[in-house]
Structure 1
């Protein structure tokens, strides 16, 4: 599995996935953040908990836009705060089947719940802004 941090908008991420040597399957974990009070010493940092809500895997060609992805996600669960995204590369010119995504999606959820390093994932909020999550 490649977990590539791609700066910029979701469109750039889709284009990067399409340009990989092997076809990709995008792995997405939608999560909800429940914040506590902001720290007095640094108002830009919040503490709180993060809960995985749902996992989705799609080929880049199956996603028209970030807005379409939001609409589809909201039809299932609408209280998500951000999405973690990774790519799973295929072999011999074939994209991985959806069945191959499950263990990696489980790993993403475990990484999030266990406070593991998430710097290898692209994390975007609902407005496509990059999000930095750090374990305490």
Structure 2
């Protein structure tokens, strides 16, 4: 299935043979350490910069049927972010993974993002739109 929206992601999760737990790593766009004048200009125009993880969360698909729920929750706890990286963790034996089982995959996801290895994750902006990062 080609995922083109957050709704598609939820649909795809529901179509899997085992129940899923969604993994979210929220990141903030920042200027890199030792940035140049050109990098600063590009950043101010919404181009370039680095994405630094600021929050990790795992949810069952039925807990986040609307992307606005995630945005609202992050606003309540006061975490400012620009991009949400999303992946899924499959359950087994007909049971969804629990939050304890999601902690290590979330840690690995965060490390991959910090190292720029983001091509295996879906990325959404705060409006819940799928975005492509390059």
- TM bucket normalised to smaller: 0.7 to 0.9
Q: Say if 2:74 and 2:80, in contact at 8 Å, map to a contact too.
A: no
Where do 5+ consecutive residues of structure 2 fail to align? 32-39
Where does 1:16-95 land on structure 2 (aligned, <5 Å)? 16-35=12-31, 36-38=40-42, 46-95=47-96
The runs of 5 or more residues in structure 1 that have no matched partner are none
Instruction: State the alpha-carbon separation in 2 of the partners of residues 128 and 110 from structure 1.
Output: 23
TM-score (norm 2): 0.83
The aligned residue for residue 8 of structure 1 is: 4
CA contact (8 A) 2:28 2:81 kept: yes
In structure 2, C-alpha distance between the alignment counterparts of 1:95 and 1:86, rounded to whole Å: 14
Alpha-carbon distance between aligned partners in 2 of 1:114 and 1:51, rounded to the nearest angstrom: 10
Tell me the distance in 2 between the aligned counterparts of 1:97 and 1:74: 24
**How many residues are aligned here?**
125
Instruction: Note the aligned Cα RMSD (angstroms).
Output: 2.1
More helix by share: 2
